Structure 1
Amino acid sequence: MAKITNVVYYRVKPRWLMVKITDENGEFGWGEATLEGHDLAVEGCLEEMIPRVIGRDANEIENIWQMFWRHGFYRGGPVFMSALSGIDIALWDLKGKNLKVPIYELLGGKVRNEVQVYCWIGGDRPSDVEDAAYVPAPCALPASV
């Protein structure tokens, strides 16, 4: 039973908002709270949520989720759910690290060995997009991320 001691969030270019939760043993988990184009709104929601999780048992993931879901009169919405998702994913990541198992083991086991993913390509010129579309290498994040 490790207590949550710190929750911080980071904007990661070009469009992500990441949440880091640290427990009293110095272990940490990461979650994504991205809502493209609405980072400031999600950050405001996280600012309201963070004081409510500090000092709580990091293993009580469902209890924390239910506390946020049932706490207020108004529920849901993309801003609220993005912030809650970032906290939820970070707590699962932290629990997996503490138990020394991948998250998929906590959620019922591996489902497949491969998965198709969406890979975005782009550039400043149409020729950049054309060049990227014909590269047979796997999709990777740009070096600037």
Structure 2
Amino acid sequence: MAKIKCIEYFRVKPRWLFVKVTDEEGSFGWGEGTLEGHSLAVEGALDEIISRIVGYEADDIEHIWQLIWRLGFYRGGPVFMSAISGIDIALWDLKGKRLGVPVYQLLGGKVRNKVQVYCWIGGDRPSDVERMA
């Protein structure tokens, strides 16, 4: 097992916020902490959380989640939950990569072979969407 070396976040236009967790061995995982229109607020929550969990074992995902959840008297809310989800997803991605299995295997196995998803990449006209793709 390796400890968390650093956690970074990246704002990606037009609205995404991605979180990268890197361990001491240089492996990393990615998560998403997007809360449309509130990236700066989520970044502030991440800054508060990051300083407290660097140095923890990256595999102790549930312990880290509970630690973050119990940081203060007030819990929950969209900003806080977006920040914690970005870290949580990145930790699961990191663990899956380290073990060489897809994350769904760590979470109980595959449930279905396909799923409908909402997909929008930008633009108001078909030509805009094509360009963005």
Q: What residue number does 2:132 align with?
A: 142
Q: TM-score, normalised by structure 2?
A: 0.93
Structure 2 gaps, min length 5:
none
- Whole-Å Cα distance in 2 between the matches of residues 122 and 9 of structure 1? 22
Shift of 1:13: 1.3
- The percent identity for this pair of structures is 71
Structure 1 gaps, min length 5:
133-138
Larger radius of gyration: 1
Aligned structure 1 segments of 4 or more residues deviating by more than 4 angstroms: none
Q: TM-score, normalised by structure 1?
A: 0.85
Mapping of residues 53-64 of structure 1, within 5 Å: 53-64=53-64
Query: What amino acid is the match of 1:81?
Result: M
Please say if residues 122 and 132 of structure 2, whose CA atoms lie closer than 8 Å, have aligned partners that are also in contact.
no
Q: How much is the aligned-residue C-alpha RMSD, in angstroms?
A: 2.0
Cα shift readout 1:64-103 (whole Å, capped 9, x = no counterpart): 0000111210000000000000000000000000000000
Query: What amino acid is the match of 2:7?
Result: V
Query: What amino acid is the match of 1:110?
Result: K
SS of 2:132 mapped into structure 1: coil
Mapping of residues 20-39 of structure 1, within 5 Å: 20-39=20-39
Number of residue pairs the alignment of both structures matches: 133
Shift of 1:118: 1.2
